[in-house]
Every structure is written in C-alpha cells, then in structure tokens.
Amino acid sequence: MGIVAAGLFVAVFPGNIAQLTEHRDAFGLDTDRGRVIRLFFQPVLIAWALWATDAVGARRAGACPGGIVPPPLDADVDMTVPTLALNDATTIPQLGFGVFQIPPESTKEAVLTALRAGYRHIDTAQMYGNEQGVGEAIAESGIPREELFVTTKLNNNNHDPADVKRSLRESLDRLGLDRVDLFLIHWPLPTVGDGDFVATWRAMVEAREEGLTTSVGVSNFQPDHLDRIVAETGEVPAVNQIEVHPYFTNDAAREATRRHGAQVEAWSPIAQGAVLDDPVLVGIAGDVERTVAQVVLRWHIQRGDIVFPKSVTPARIEANFALFDFALSEDQMAAINALDTGDEGRRGPHPDVMDIVPD
C-alpha cells in the first residue's frame, strides 16, 4: 500500500512541477533556493506517504503490534480500554481475556500473548484448572500488580460456606497473588443440596471483608436468584457474569442485574464462534471494514457490558483487542439485537437446572 502510494506520488509530483514551471517566476522554482527546497522536501514527503499509508492500513486490519495501543486515527478516537465503575467504589476494564477451555499447559503462553497485546483483565475460574498458568504469565510479564484485574470463580463443589475462603486461598496460591480483584459464585445451583446459595453468598462477602478479594459477585444468576441474595443479605454483587451474544441477548437477566446496580459481564461473547457466519453480521462487518468478531465484540461494548473473548490464536487475540477505533450505528446495533432467538440461542446450560458438581 505504502509503496503504491509513494510510486503515485513520485509520478505525480514532477507533473505538478512541470505545470508550475509555467509560473516559475511567481513561485521562484527556477532559483537556487527553489531547487534546494525541492531537493529537501521531496524525499521527506515520500517518506511521509510511505509511513502514513502503512500506518492506516495496519489500523484498518485491527493490528496492535507489540502490544502497544496505536495512537488514535484522529483526535476524537480513544483507543484505550474503558473502565466501568463497580458499585463498591472500584473499577473494572470493560475488555478482558477469558481462559475457559485453554488447556493448563497452554495457558501461560496464551495469557502472555494477551498481556503483550495490551489486555490487563483476565477471567479464569477454579473449574478451568488453569489458574496456575495464569499466575505464571502474570509473574513472567513483570506488569505491576495494580495494573492488572484478575477474576476467579468458586467451583461448584465449594458452595459450602466453610469451603469458600479455603478454596479462594488455594486459588491465590495457584495464581501467585495475595488477593484477586473479583471472586464470583460460578453457578447458583438452586437444585443441588439445600440450594442455599444465600449462605454461600454470605461467605463470599466475608472473604472480601478479610481482604482475599477486592470485589465479590455472581455468575449465571437469574433475576429471582439476584432478588433473593440482595433481599436476604443487603449485599449487592459487583457483577453478574451471564451468557450473552447476538443469538441470546439475555435481556431479562441483564436488566435485573442493572436494576440492582451491578455490572453485566457477557460470557461466550461470540457464542464460541457460532455467530461468525451469520449473514447480517457478515454484511455489517463488510460495511465497517472490520472482522465479524470485532463487530460482535463492539456491539457488546456499546451495550455497556464487560467482555473477555477467549482465543489461543495470537492474531485473533490481537484483533479482538482492536475495538476502539470504530463504532456501530444505531441501525447496525438494532439489526444485531434482532438476531436474538431467546432461550433457543443458549450455548450453555440453563442456570435454573445446571447441577453439575465435580467430585
């Protein structure tokens, strides 16, 4: 691209000079000073054309080479990841990196790739079995702890209040941290045992009060689950992490979460790839000159949800981070909202019946 532009420039520039020579007296081009000015500026302008066209091309491709956030294309565009306020006076980066289904032996490399690309928010869980790899990547990255936001989640076999702090301490050992930023009840499990997720929630709040985690929240809580923990404890979770993507917009749970003053975290934001061939999304991606994944992730960002796409593919990890130099119009947002298929669009289990508890 840059070479083509420079070629055009070289071809056109002498032509312009030729035209100008008819008026060279007026422009002073046939003086020694005019020749010196031309000799100096022509290579400078060619170098600028090469740089400018390549820089714009790289930005369009969504590249963030070396993990450095490129400068905005113009003064109105902010490429940095926004932070959202939580209801406990802390903040969370709106875009992070998810590690569900990344094998333990690949986790360190994937998280290091994400950290190099600029991600500062990592979402793991006791259930994923890869907290240690996350911890190794954090340690090796050398990034100051205060610049990172780390979430983990209580496994389904640790709902007994006596297991909450114990298991969180074990997570902290694996992560090599003395606290996490956010600790979530992974699933409510209303049909398991006495289904008393309220007692579990009280123990989560105690873990926060003891300083093992800065914030506490829940995941996969339906509106009635949220109503119950808030009514019985007076403690509102900082977030509710729920399944949300274009085929399952999950607006009832999103609205209940917001009504309680908590932030929505959208898991499986690209439906584990299931939305990527959708013709509506492919059309919008063509219109805005971005990938379908970038369009879907941008849709989440504009809806105000927190997202952490997962990938083990370095080019995708980088592209999924390049969401802040373009925007979707109201019509494009509405067209994506209209792809919702309700409960049929779920990829994961329904939280009312999910009852899988590891041994």
Task: Print the binding letters for residues 113-152 with ligand NDP: x by CB under 6 A, - otherwise.
Answer: ----------x-----------------------------
Tell me the per-residue interface mask from 315 to 344 with ligand NDP, x by CB under 6 A, - otherwise: -x--xx------------------------
Which of 273, 286, 342, 358 is close enough to bind ligand NDP by CB under 6 A? 273
Choose, by CB under 6 A, the member of 308, 321, 322, 345 that binds ligand NDP.
308
Instruction: Give the DSSP per-residue string, 233-266.
Output: H-PPPSEEEEE-BTTB--HHHHHHHHHTTPEEEE
**Residue 214 main-chain phi, psi, to 5 deg:** -75, -40
Q: How far is CA 321 from CA 163, 272, 303, in A?
A: 36, 17, 17
* Minimum separation from the CB atom of position 275 to ligand NDP (A): 8
Integer CA distances (angstroms), 245 to 125, 226, 239, 271, 299, in order: 21, 21, 17, 6, 9
Measured between alpha carbons, how far is residue 196 from residues 38, 52, 161, 232 in Å? 80, 60, 10, 11
Q: Shortest approach of ligand NDP to residue 309 CB, angstroms?
A: 4
53 binds ligand NDP (CB under 6 A): no
Q: Which two tokens stand for residue 332?
A: 């494009």
Q: How far is the CB of 248 from ligand NDP (least distance, A)?
A: 11
Note if 128 is an active site residue.
yes
Residue 355 C-beta: closest distance to ligand NDP, Å: 14
Q: In 51-133, which ranges are E strands? A: 83-85, 91-93, 97-98, 121-123
Q: Which is nearer to ligand NDP, 233 or 272 (CB)?
A: 272
Closest to ligand NDP by CB, 220 vs 222, is 220
Half-sphere exposure of 227 (CA within 13 A, CB side): 7
When the beta carbons of 207 and 221 are compared against ligand NDP, the nearer one is 221
Residue with Cβ nearer ligand NDP (136 or 243) = 243
Instruction: Return the axis-axis angle of helices 279-288 and 330-337, rounded to nearest 10°.
Output: 160
Which residues pair with residue 154 across a beta bridge? Answer: 185
CB of 149 to ligand NDP, least distance (A): 13
Site membership for ligand NDP, residue 112 (CB under 6 A): no
Q: Is 172 in the site for ligand NDP (CB under 6 A)?
A: no
Question: Residue of minimal CB distance from ligand NDP?
Answer: 98
Question: Catalytic residue among 97, 119, 128, 308, which?
Answer: 128
Residue of 181, 269, 318, 345 that binds ligand NDP (CB under 6 A): 269
* Structure tokens that stand for 201 in this block: 């929630």
Half-sphere exposure of 257 (CA within 13 A, CB side): 28
Other C-beta atoms lying within 10 Å of the C-beta of residue 260: 17
| Binders of ligand NDP in range 215-234 (CB under 6 A) | 219-220
Residues that bind ligand NDP (CB under 6 A): 98-101, 123, 186, 219-220, 241, 267-273, 276, 291, 293, 308-313, 316, 319-320, 348
- Any idea which residues carry the catalytic annotation? 128
